Amino acid sequence: MNQRTIAKKIELIGIGLHKGVPVKMILEPLPSDSGIIFYRSDKGVSIPLTIENVVDTTMATVIGKNGVKISTIEHLLSSIHAYGIDNIRIILDNEEVPIMDGSSMGFCILLEEAGIQELDKPKKAIEIKEIVEVRENDKFVRLEPNNVVTFDFMIKFPHQAIREQRYVFQFSTQNYKDEIAKARTFGFLQEVNQLRAMGLGLGGSFDNCIVLDESGVLNKGGLRYKDEFVRHKILDAIGDMSLLGMPIIGGYISFAGSHKLNHFLTKKLLSSAHAYNIVELQSKVQSSQKVAVHSRVSIKH
């Protein structure tokens, strides 16, 4: 199985969730072994997508270099990962990726319009060999060996519209589009003033966020899934795990995980050489419902 990029350049204009300003985004193809590279056209600064370039995880995953930042990258990265894209250039003229409708479905549509191009070099993946875990009180995120790529997430909120939710997602592109991509980010009305005092959430609205007050969901259309909240957490986790630079072969498990814990998990994995192998993917079951990887060849421990 070879690396992928997009087939043609494509662009859009949207609004940033936290800064609330318009931003133009252009996606461009890149050759094999280029990776994912962000570029701030207004600053003339390229920021490769690496764990070392993560500068903040407070309300979103933020990367930066030489004082230049790009925020709220996780939804776009989640969709890029879902389509198996390894190499792409993301050009922005401001510091935040457009929020779209608060989910990643708009990015999926954009990528399908651009098309997927297979390249000339083998695709690599991180095969999890031992459990790696990060905890913060009762919250945790974990990677463990599994021949099937899964994301098992549980959340627990006192709010009556959420309570306890768990979802187990078996990864494939079609499953992602059906089960995960439409799940929107969410927030609580009482936190709006606090966020805006921090300079965050300025672009948030009912058009790009599930908003809850004390009694329930305020959005006129209600929820897209009954457990949309936990599904969005999986969407975020897929995006955050893409900071590893290649897909994982294994299982991701979390209770109340966050961008911060996901970042610590990726750092801990890469510092634990005994816990993973890097493998080349030579062939793959071609089915939207199957994600088992076959004929793996280990090339590095």
Whether the pLDDT of residue 159 is over 70: the answer is yes
User: What pLDDT shows up at residue 19?
Assistant: 75
User: What pLDDT shows up at residue 301?
Assistant: 33
Task: Give tens-digit pLDDT for 201-229.
Answer: 778 888 999 999 998 999 999 999 999 99
Task: Give tens-digit pLDDT for 5-54.
Answer: 999 999 999 998 877 889 999 999 999 999 999 999 999 999 999 999 99
Considering only CA atoms, give the Rg of the chain. 18
DSSP-derived secondary structure letter, 216? S
- Alpha helices per DSSP H over 144-225: 173-179, 192-197
For the ranges 23-32, 133-142, 278-287, 292-301, the lowest mean pLDDT is seen at: 292-301
CA dihedral sign of residues 182, 61, 190, 135: positive
Considering 18, 75, 81, 259, which one is annotated as catalytic? 259
Percent pLDDT > 70 in the chain is: 93
Q: Confirm whether 259 is a catalytic residue.
A: yes
pTM for this structure? 0.92
Dist. CA 297–CA 81, nearest whole Å: 21
**191 vs 300: which has the higher pLDDT:** 191
**55 vs 203: which has the higher pLDDT:** 55
Mean predicted lDDT score pLDDT of the chain: 92
Beta bridge partners of 281: 123, 296
User: What pLDDT shows up at residue 239?
Assistant: 98
User: What pLDDT shows up at residue 283?
Assistant: 53
User: What pLDDT shows up at residue 295?
Assistant: 34
What's the one-letter identity of residue 105?
A: M
Whether the pLDDT of residue 181 is over 60: the answer is yes
Percent pLDDT > 90 in the chain is: 83
Burial class of residue 297 in the structure, from the number of CB atoms within 10 Å of its CB (0-12 exposed, 13-18 middle, 19+ buried): exposed
